[in-house]
Chain A
Amino acid sequence: MKEYDKLIFEISKPGRKGYQLPADKYGVDGMSAIPAGLMRGEAPELPEVSELDVVRHYTNLSNKNFGVDTGFYPLGSCTMKYNPKINEELASLPAFAGLHPLQDVKSVQGALQLYYELQQALSSLAGLKEFTLNPYAGAHGELTGLMVMRQYHKLRGDDKRTKVIVPDTAHGTNPASAMVAGLEVVEVKSRPNGSIDIEDLKPLLDDTVAGIMMTNPNTLGMFETEIMEIASLVHEAGGLLYYDGANLNPMLGKVRPGDMGFDIMHINLHKTFSTPHGGGGPGSGPVGVSERLVDLLPTPRVVKLDDGSFDVVYNGDESLGSVSTFFGNFGVMMKAYAYILSLGRDNIKNVGPMATLNANYIKESLRDLYKLPVEGPCKHEFVFDGLADKSTGVTTLNVAKRLLDFGFHAPTIYFPLLFHESLMIEPTETESLETLDEFIDVMRKVAIEARENPELVKEAPVTTAISHPDETGAAKNPILSYKAMKA
């Protein structure tokens, strides 16, 4: 295929256009009524291209991308499962796509019913009382959930609870969300196996603690076996438990966060419920809460009335406020609900176990060549601390880049921070045994290359469109637009 590296601005030709609009319709010149002082001085410098130019340009760009549809994408903690195509079709149905968010509720009963049913489905799957679907992404869900936590203490007049406990292995969004929510972060140490050190936790639990943020399984993919003890310690100290749903996938069919004592959680619909990651978004991060926290959820909320119809509540005395302009990423919710309905009550129970089976299979097939820092069955993902043979000088970054040459996306690297050479692998349940075996073969091959021909691995990737971009230079002298590039 021919190499294509033009920017859309670079194929612009004055006067060319890619749209069709009707001619004047009204015999009115509305813009003449706007004073010149309110108008822009010069037209923006935007591309002038034909429809075909646009189609070829973005099709060519898409060829430089790697998605789940291209190949195996074992990016740990991101749950890159297959995105069923029927969900895309349903989310674009005109009967939903054309709805204005401020339409009379009587004219959007189908949309509200879908919204309500998804809230109910997530509540049942999570073992919690109610969900809000307003948050737009995982980190946005964390922020919303922590606002619920603070609102709870505030309404009780317990103003001194300003700290939140976060494990030192947590996703970076946890402490960052706490900061945005106005909470002070207190780190709790992890044991070498990644689980929370209860002895380190106990002295932290005083009357200034609002709660704790956890994932379970934790960042190493290991189940926190002492979760019930942690839950009772935190509750006894007057705090709440927040569940980061980033690692929910292996729990589907096996464990519900609510049953483990969690009071608040978020779900990443784009992870566990198969909506596409979209190159970084849009996602959706619904937040679920236990019964005592329901009235604190953000507005708007969708409720079912006694007559079976659906309504929107825009204000609540105890509500924390609003975190979204309207109802959240409705289009994403439609896809998640389609996924839940297609699996149904029984098949959805296989999601967690099959994801766990796949992860353990890879782990056991590679542990002789890669350093496994923690023993025992993992859940949906696990972490290697780089190659077992540390004498080669080949790093986790080199291994990750070499995988690209073999047509695989790299795992998550250098996270968690517990190890120097973290390589975090999450296969998800949607991959076949054949794909897992192919990946295992390639991982083994790379480990052997590292020993026999380390330079080859360090040079990788060699088959990709670009190789070894200068990231330091990019940060030192930021060029963030076409205009800056031309200057």
Chain B
Amino acid sequence: MLDKIGVGSVDELYSDVPEEVLFRGEYDLPEGMSETELREYFTNLGKKNEQLTVFAGHGAYDHYSPSVIPHLLERSEFYTAYTPYQPEISQGTLQYIFEYQSMISELTGMESSNASMYDGATAAAESMFMMVASARKKNRVLVSSTLLESVRKVIATYMKFHGVELTELPEKEGETDFTAMAEELAKGDVAGVMVPSVNRYGIIENLEGVAEKVHGAKASLAIYCDPSALAVLKTPGEWGADIACGDGQTLGMPLQFGGPYLGFIACRKDMLRKMPGRVVGATTDRNGKRCYVLTLQAREQHIRRQKATSNICSNQSLMALYATIYVALMGPQGLRDVNRLSCDGAHYLYDRLIESGKFSKVYDKPFLKEFVVKTDLDTAAMAARLRRNGMMGGVEIAPGVLEFAVTEKRTKEQIDRLITVMLEEEK
């Protein structure tokens, strides 16, 4: 090989690198490990983790994941491919993205979905940009403070640097204060509003009349939602939203310490050209055969550079495949059953906690699988006790206020045990 190249050594291929920057030291890394050593290293690290029975949500949910999914995701024709730049040899990827887009459109009630985003928070931030881009000379967006704080934090960071003014709407009895929203809209400078479908307290917000108010002020409405819950709850499309966005982790994805998950954005047709990210469309080839291609690329960074709708140049493709297979397996009935079982379990736990007299209501509002209660018990001692017993209880979102989530994976026995341990007297 060196002869062909015409050099005497591999080092000669770096002869153009200034001497002073050539690395001659040692990396601060261990010696290379064999497969056996590596497996042992990871297994030992794993022993320092505690696998708990999870009763928490707050943006990450312990839903059931059918066995089929990892088996299909391990098809290396899927996971060792890259973005489908060559449609002739990427119809597998392109078709599943088309199916994914179709499913997200169905679940959200919106006309067009993109090929997916990094996570819910970044999808929400990019949805804000879409609304600003769709408005004429307006540079302010509103976000409800009932949206998860982890999502609001990312929105705030993106808006701050991009130079979009962000106003948080106050809450009223656990829901968005829509009177305050109307006051802000009346100022005439609002490009878009984002509200949650199910909010940070687990409350299903009543969004009746919100779209009319927002559209009346010539602004757009984005609803942050849980695609799993949308199998039963009123959809952003039905509420009259322009954009639906959120995180698809609830479609059976492993908790995996926070990622990879799946962001999604779907919108009405008239906002399509403001949408970030990859989009797959159906077409035909020269023999009239149906096929799929990346499309509407004139929005994207590799064509438009600094005039693009976003800097995103990939999607969360394999997680989109995960979601697609999950939804295919579950179907409309399975998704309904998941919600019903989660909802039953959550209500069962809620009722038992209130009955105990040690916990009380914070809000009296409808919820699906997640809710908050307050207590005077020592929550730190309670959390430690639960951990010793292999459980993760509710997330303490304010002093003495716990948010619990129950999925279809939990059993009545697990919930009863949770309650027993929580109510134990500290010895």
Contacts and interface: CB of A to CB of B under 8 A. Distances in A.
Contacts, number: 666
A89 B86 CA distance: 29
A464 B88 contact: yes
A104 B393 CA distance: 10
Given A67-B81, A78-B82, A322-B150, A113 B48 contact: yes
Nearest to B46: A95
A412 to B, nearest CB: 8
Given A90-B38, A124-B27, A326-B60, A83 B383 contact: no
Interface string B34-68: 11001101111111111110101011101010101
A357 B1 contact: yes
B101 A48 contact: no
Given A45-B106, A325-B121, A330-B256, A469 B284 contact: yes
Interface in A129-176: 136-140, 142-143, 146-147, 150, 171-173, 175-176
Contact of A356 (B13, B115, B341): B13
Given A325-B150, A342-B33, A361-B4, A279 B78 contact: yes
Interface string A48-92: 110100110111011111111110010100101001001011101
B119 A136 contact: yes
Contact of B345 (A26, A139, A255, A475): A26
B103 interface: yes
Given A320-B157, A475-B281, A277 B1 contact: no
Contact of A324 (B23, B259, B345): B259
Interface in B227-279: 230-235, 238, 247, 254-261, 272, 278-279
Contacts of A485: 282
Interface string A1-41: 00001011100000011110110111011110111011111
Contact of B81 (A38, A45, A66, A334): A66
A140 B126 CA distance: 12
B280 A33 contact: no
Interface string A158-201: 00000000000001110111111110010000000000000000
A391 interface: no
A305 interface: no
Contacts of A293: none
Contact of B59 (A90, A277, A326, A481): A326
A46 interface: yes
A100 B29 contact: no
Interface string B70-96: 111011111111111111111111011
Interface residues of A, number: 189
Interface string B368-401: 1000000000000001000100001001000000
B426 interface: no
Contacts of B327: 46-47
A279 B347 contact: no
A323 B112 contact: no
Contact of A88 (B74, B87, B283): B74
A316 interface: no
Contacts of A173: 301-302, 311, 313
B113 A480 contact: yes
Interface stretch (B212-220, B331-339, B353-361): B331-339
Given A138-B313, A178-B306, A328-B258, A360 B5 contact: yes
Contact of A31 (B91, B112, B333, B339): B339
A83 B318 contact: no
B286 interface: yes
Interface string A213-227: 000000000110101
B158 interface: yes
A280 B82 contact: yes
Interface in A312-330: 320-330
Nearest to B230: A40
Interface string A399-424: 01100100001101001000000000
Nearest to B305: A175
B204 interface: yes
Given A109-B48, A254-B17, A331-B260, A481 B96 contact: no
A433 interface: yes
A19 B387 CA distance: 31
B180 interface: no
Contact of A482 (B49, B99, B328): B99
Contacts of B156: 321
A44 interface: yes
A278 B162 contact: no
B86 A172 contact: no
B182 interface: no
B370 to A, nearest CB: 12
A345 B91 contact: no
Interface residues of B, number: 199
A341 B30 contact: yes
B190 to A, nearest CB: 20
Nearest to A350: B10
Nearest to A44: B106
A470 B331 contact: no
B255 A21 contact: no
B29 A340 contact: yes
A140 B310 CA distance: 10
A125 interface: yes
- Most chain A CB atoms below 10 A, which of B26, B91, B279: B91
A44 B49 CA distance: 39
Nearest to A482: B102
A324 B121 contact: yes
Contacts of B160: 321
A278 B399 CA distance: 42
Contacts of A223: 14, 16-17
Contacts of B112: 478, 480-481
B387 A104 contact: yes
B135 interface: no
A48 B331 contact: yes
B412 interface: yes
A46 B281 contact: no
B343 interface: yes
A279 B331 contact: no
A114 B44 CA distance: 11
Contacts of B56: 100, 102
A330 B259 contact: yes
A110 B48 CA distance: 5
Contacts of A357: 1-2, 5, 10, 13
B99 A30 contact: no
Contact of B153 (A24, A322, A328, A469): A322
Contact of B316 (A260, A281, A326): A281
A97 interface: yes
Contacts of B308: 172, 176, 179
A51 B67 CA distance: 10
A120 B301 CA distance: 32
B420 interface: no
A466 B290 CA distance: 9
Contacts of B366: 33-35, 38
A173 to B, nearest CB: 5
A342 B38 contact: yes
Interface in B313-354: 313-319, 321, 324-325, 327-341, 343-348, 351
Nearest to B348: A26
A58 B42 CA distance: 31
Given A136-B122, A480-B279, A481-B105, A68 B289 contact: no
Given A102-B59, A180-B162, A223-B14, 10 more contacts: A18-B334, A30-B343, A114-B45, A175-B306, A180-B161, A227-B18, A347-B32, A377-B12, A468-B285, A478-B295
20 contacts: A18-B66, A30-B340, A65-B91, A67-B81, A88-B79, A100-B62, A107-B387, A120-B28, A121-B29, A127-B23, A137-B314, A255-B21, A276-B80, A280-B115, A326-B258, A331-B259, A341-B32, A344-B30, A377-B5, A480-B112
7 A-B pairs with the lowest CB-CB distances in the bound complex, closest first: A344-B32, A326-B258, A95-B46, A321-B157, A67-B80, A110-B48, A101-B258
